[in-house]
Structure 1
Amino acid sequence: MSNHVDMEEVDSHLKDIERMYSNETLPRRLKVLFGGLKAPRQSREYKAAMIEMQRLSAPVAALLLPAVAVGLLIVMSSGAAVEDRIIETQVLEAEEIKDLDKIEEFEKPEEQVENMDIDIPINSPDVQVQTDAPDQPMSPQPQAFDAVMTVKSPVILKNIYGSTRNTGTRGAMLAKFGGNAITEAAVMRALRWLKKNQQPDGSWQRQKIAMTGLAILTFLAHGDKPGESAEFGETVQKALEFLLKNQRADGKFNGMDGNEYAHPIAAYALCEAYGMTLNPNVKTAAEKALVPIIKGQHPTGGWTYKMKPGIEEGDDHGAKGKYRDDTSYMGWCAQALKAAKLAKLHAEGLDKAMKLAVKGFKANAHPSGGFGYTSPGTGGLTSVGCLCMQLLGASNEGEVKRALDVIGNWTPSFSQYAPIQEAIKQIKPEELVKRDKAGKPALGKDGKEEKRTPMEVAKSKLAAKVPEEQRMFYTTSAQYYLYYATQCKFHEGGKHWANWNKAMMASYPKAQLIQEKAIKDDKGVDRDIGWWENADTHTDRPVMDTCLAALQLMVYYRNLPTTSKEAVQVEEEIVATSTDTDDIKVDTGNL
């Protein structure tokens, strides 16, 4: 047997092996692959092609698998997309302002003064004759935590309150509904006065809970929110933190007035604040504050002081053994409930309480038109019952229409406190003694002489001297009644609103007290501040006076949900009326 080895054949095989494991170009390798696959299965070319296929499978798989995964993610993402819900909205276009019709002369009705006490114990003046009582200093309680934190959120709610959130649309609505630069300047002075007089703990004196609630409502009405308003955002945040810090576990607040008027006012402010900010901390506080209101409602539909749910045990208010439904107190409770409803807050029994409240107001409605204090009447609380029934969805009820007829005889006016203050200083002690028809001192149940307040005596002396349009409610609380009436008239619209607005614009800005160059704005420019001091018997001047007047002068564009025109519609669903593209960013992290 020959041992001869064909060296050429060996060299050929070695070159083939060297070529298989050398770094050949990709085109050469693909040529070997596809060419070998066509060869017979037992041939060397086919086997070389299979080896090449194994070598190429790894990089091909490394490219294809991620591409397939990305493709699947794109398909799944597009398939799961949810179509945005679009709400048709309408922009209120500014119209050319025409001259208003000549204001109608209001027939002066017979003055009807109810023997009632509104009892907003928010500083019923305790004035000593011929004595200037200084304000008592309050101990500030610095805020220890950041309760209302401004959070950047990826979630955006479109066009919720866009119609009045910026300067342009606010100006358009001023022109549309009757405001002007004079009314807006008065509002800005009032907001700056409130900012300057805020206490270090975020509150306003003297009844801190109630006054802080009113101040919050006033800033929110102008669209000033924490994190958005350069000039007033921090002021509003500190105020909200004050309410949150002073809320108890039962939902009520520390430091309230004796009759707890402050609670529904503060609850109203928190509900509005949540509706405009959607802040989860405010939501929790607002829902806690609603609980005492709902639980304290009477089966008759109304509320009384301190939201007591039972019948009157004593005879202090002339309702022993009965449910005492107080229209004035009920007004703040109803506004709080409506604000909660519009803000979509969750409170057990909310819808039922709103429906039952209509029954409570109707019980105090007079057959001929108007609402009384704790029984049917036709006095100043007519405006409270009228507006609240509008807000509760009962705009078409006869009680509302007849109440509007009663209010149609009113004239908006502003009576100053300064003349009363001067008259009080001149009162003699014997003038404070209450007398019977025979002129003898009236004696109380304890046998002691009954006294009149200095405010009551001063007003009785000045009533005949004030302008005729101020006389109707001069001896009571005109601005309190007009706060509600202005909203009623605005919602009514038409010629009735035009005449009302013309009279209001002529008196309110002129009545404002002004201090020039008293504060710097957010740009460092010196600005005037302004405030009001009215002649109301029951008020906490000057904070409450300033808030009530400013809120009336913002009725043209107030973007508080409860004062929007949709708030008084009978329909259950409230639809936005703006296509403003300023969107609201919402924190959903804790919802």
Structure 2
Amino acid sequence: MAQTDTSFVSPHTGVGSLPIAEPVSIALRESSTPSPSAASASDTLDFSGNKVPTDQLPAESSDLHERLPALATLNDFIGEAPAWLISAALHMIVLIVFGLLLITTREPVGILLQLQPSDTTGEDLEAGDLDMPLDFDDPLLDEIASAEPQALAEFAETETIPIESIPTLATGLEPSSEPIRMSLSGREAGMKASLLAAYGGTAATQDAVAEGLEWLKRNQGGDGLWNLKGKFADGVNSNNPEAATGMALIAFQGAGYTPLSDPKDPHTRVVTKAWYALLKRQDQDGNFFSTGRSTGRLYTQAICTIALCELYGMTRDEEYRAPAQLAVDYCASVQGPEGGWQYYPNVGGDLSVTGWFVMALQSARMAGLDVPSETLERIGGFLDLVTLDGGSQYSYRPGQGKRMSMTAEGLLCRQYLGWSHDDRRLTRGADLLNKNLPSWKGTRDSYYWYYASQVCHHMEGKHWRTWNDRMKVVLPAHQVAKGRERGSWDPTGDKGKAYGGRLYVTCLSIYMLEVYYRHLPIYKTELLSGQ
């Protein structure tokens, strides 16, 4: 097993190393070692059964020898005392002992609660701002019904934030504003608790996120990076450490972890080491891609830009602003002539790559970075080229047929670029997504699920309830529960297995289960109306 490198240069503190706790080793003692019971009465033992040196004993223990002359004097006094005095003293001691026994053996006072019908009706309990009905006939519910709500325990004493005070996410082409900058604040503890309750997150979804992050932590390389090939099952032939690391960081940051998080939390060390390694991969133009399939070049750039813009938006650390802005500028500079992006700089466009860049630019706006308005305007022109069914469905490239994954991706782009909540094209598209819910039967498409989850989450209401009722059951129920790959999702049967493998599918699954709080809602109409 390769030894993990525990030293790294922190972006904030320079060259250094974080202290690593020594493992606690428990060994069987040799038979010649005296047991605690065999130890001398004068020996003092610690909790491990080891003798404590006499020079480490408290002062009152060593003072015992100085008090021995006084005890000898007391013994002489008892021997010379009259019999009646000794008898009276003994009777007094017996009375005191009986009194103590009576006090300590009294029956404890208890409170008896009785449940019985009442003539008056009390107030109904409210389940939350959103009613999330469950299909109790779904057999998958049985698989998670016994799950302990451990992950939600961290929010049990967290003060929630009133839903009315949560801003909506400004969209469209206007310059970045305060609501956009606040859109990453859902990852903060109080806001996270409110959004989880409002949008139907459960203990099972949070447990699944926690297990997924643990799997990622275990598979981080000694250099701080991840890669798509990995040492895990179902990797792919292409490493592409930059894309893999960007995807892993998005998962950790979605749960609220940054290099400025609690230094005692192991996940803080994970993201700190990863960011130090990844930022060294960015070149002077802002580009991150260096190795892997050439067709992954701009995918890699968009993914790393999303992660970096989120990092700056969450921390407001000026050290990250310059590289984040440089990455955004590179994204704008490689936009194709049709307004989209494809595999290589400044050529054509396809909706798959373009969708990642829309997310990157939106993340930049969320962080308050500069995004050229012309770049955003040209994206709308490209989306028009891949529009079908009047705008409710989309194709991969202009002139091609509709695809569910591209429809979800196209609709999300339209939401971020300013379509209103009640736009007929958007509602018709969301209706179609609700007819194609996540299922583990047959061929799966985590890529489609990822984009559809975001679209329906922003739509809220019936579209979100229908989608979430299925997603929040299916994903936790099919997470690997034991063995080396515990916490991941098996890519077998998923369209993403061939080009992304286990790490890719696992990251997308984590993103979906973080959807409740990763980004603030765009519209927030249903929450405010109480529906």
Q: Which residue of the partner structure matches residue 325 of structure 2?
A: 287
- CA 1:555–1:104 in 2, change beyond 3 Å: closer, same or farther? farther
Does the alignment pair 1:555 with 2:515?
Answer: yes
Does the alignment pair 1:327 with 2:327?
Answer: no
Residue 171 (structure 1) shift: 3.4
Does the alignment pair 1:271 with 2:271?
Answer: no
**1:190–1:530 CA contact under 8 A, matched in 2:** yes
**2:387–2:393 CA contact under 8 A, matched in 1:** yes
Q: Which residue of the partner structure matches residue 394 of structure 2?
A: 371
Secondary structure of the equivalent of 2:294? Answer: coil
Q: TM-score, normalised by structure 2?
A: 0.58
Residue 186 (structure 1) shift: 0.8
- CA 1:257–1:395 in 2, change beyond 3 Å: closer, same or farther? farther
- CA 1:294–1:540 in 2, change beyond 3 Å: closer, same or farther? same
Residue 291 (structure 1) shift: 2.3
Structure 2 residue identity aligned to 1:390:
Q
Structure 2 residue identity aligned to 1:292:
Y
Q: Which residue of the partner structure matches residue 546 of structure 1?
A: 506
Distance 1:161 1:263 in 2: 21
- CA 1:173–1:410 in 2, change beyond 3 Å: closer, same or farther? same
- CA 1:394–1:97 in 2, change beyond 3 Å: closer, same or farther? closer
Secondary structure of the equivalent of 1:530? Answer: coil
Residue 394 (structure 1) shift: 2.7
Secondary structure of the equivalent of 1:404? Answer: helix
- CA 1:388–1:218 in 2, change beyond 3 Å: closer, same or farther? same
Distance 2:435 2:256 in 1: 33
CA displacement 1:184-242 (0-9 Å, x = unmatched)? 11110001111111111111112211111111111111111112142311111112122
Q: Which residue of the partner structure matches residue 426 of structure 2?
A: 400
Q: Which residue of the partner structure matches residue 71 of structure 2?
A: none
Distance 1:277 1:99 in 2: 33
> Which of 240, 245, 268 is the equivalent residue of 2:280?
245
- CA 1:327–1:193 in 2, change beyond 3 Å: closer, same or farther? same
> Which of 206, 211, 220 is the equivalent residue of 2:244?
211
Distance 2:334 2:183 in 1: 32
Structure 2 residue identity aligned to 1:341:
R
**1:208–1:255 CA contact under 8 A, matched in 2:** yes
- CA 1:99–1:388 in 2, change beyond 3 Å: closer, same or farther? closer
Residue 529 (structure 1) shift: 4.7
> Which of 536, 544, 552 is the equivalent residue of 2:494?
536
Larger radius of gyration: 1
Q: TM-score, normalised by structure 1?
A: 0.53
Q: Which residue of the partner structure matches residue 234 of structure 1?
A: 269
Distance 1:512 1:360 in 2: 37
Tell me whether 254-263 or 333-342 shows the greater mean CA deviation.
254-263
Distance 1:487 1:98 in 2: 19
Secondary structure of the equivalent of 1:346? Answer: coil
Matches within 5 A, 1:512-531: 512-515=479-482, 529-531=486-488
Q: Which residue of the partner structure matches residue 363 of structure 2?
A: 339
CA displacement 1:388-435 (0-9 Å, x = unmatched)? 111122345554333223223211124xxxxxxxxxxxxxxxxxxxxx
**2:182–2:366 CA contact under 8 A, matched in 1:** no
Residue 502 (structure 1) shift: 1.2
Secondary structure of the equivalent of 2:388? Answer: coil
Residue segments in structure 2 that go unaligned for 5+ positions in a row: 1-125, 139-180, 229-239
**1:256–1:263 CA contact under 8 A, matched in 2:** no
**1:104–1:499 CA contact under 8 A, matched in 2:** no
> Which of 192, 199, 203 is the equivalent residue of 1:181?
203
Q: Which residue of the partner structure matches residue 341 of structure 2?
A: 303
Residue 509 (structure 1) shift: 0.8
Does the alignment pair 1:389 with 2:349?
Answer: no
Structure 1 residue identity aligned to 2:487:
G
Does the alignment pair 1:353 with 2:368?
Answer: no
Q: Which residue of the partner structure matches residue 257 of structure 1?
A: 293
Residue 245 (structure 1) shift: 0.3
- CA 1:286–1:164 in 2, change beyond 3 Å: closer, same or farther? closer
Structure 2 residue identity aligned to 1:530:
G
Residue 483 (structure 1) shift: 0.3
Structure having the larger proportion of residues in helix: 2
Distance 1:264 1:386 in 2: 19
- CA 1:94–1:299 in 2, change beyond 3 Å: closer, same or farther? farther
Structure 2 residue identity aligned to 1:173:
L
Distance 1:97 1:391 in 2: 23
Secondary structure of the equivalent of 1:305? Answer: coil
CA displacement 1:159-205 (0-9 Å, x = unmatched)? 88555412x54334322211111111111000111111111111111
Structure 2 residue identity aligned to 1:402:
R
Q: Which residue of the partner structure matches residue 446 of structure 1?
A: none
Q: Which residue of the partner structure matches residue 114 of structure 2?
A: none
Q: Which has the higher contact order (CA 8 A, sep 6+)?
A: 1
**1:511–1:532 CA contact under 8 A, matched in 2:** yes
Matches within 5 A, 1:347-496: 347=371, 350-368=372-390, 369-375=392-398, 377-380=401-404, 381-395=406-420, 399-414=425-440, 467=441, 470=442, 474=443, 478-496=445-463
- CA 1:256–1:335 in 2, change beyond 3 Å: closer, same or farther? farther
Q: Which residue of the partner structure matches residue 223 of structure 1?
A: 256
How many residue pairs get aligned? The number is 336
> Which of 504, 520, 527 is the equivalent residue of 1:564?
520
Structure 2 residue identity aligned to 1:531:
S
Matches within 5 A, 1:27-176: 95=128, 98=131, 100=133, 163-166=186-189, 169-176=191-198
Structure 2 residue identity aligned to 1:565:
P
CA displacement 1:547-568 (0-9 Å, x = unmatched)? 100110111122xxxx3214x6
Residue 98 (structure 1) shift: 4.9
Secondary structure of the equivalent of 2:387? Answer: coil
Secondary structure of the equivalent of 2:410? Answer: helix
- CA 1:160–1:382 in 2, change beyond 3 Å: closer, same or farther? closer
Residue identity over aligned pairs, in percent, reads 31
Distance 2:261 2:192 in 1: 16
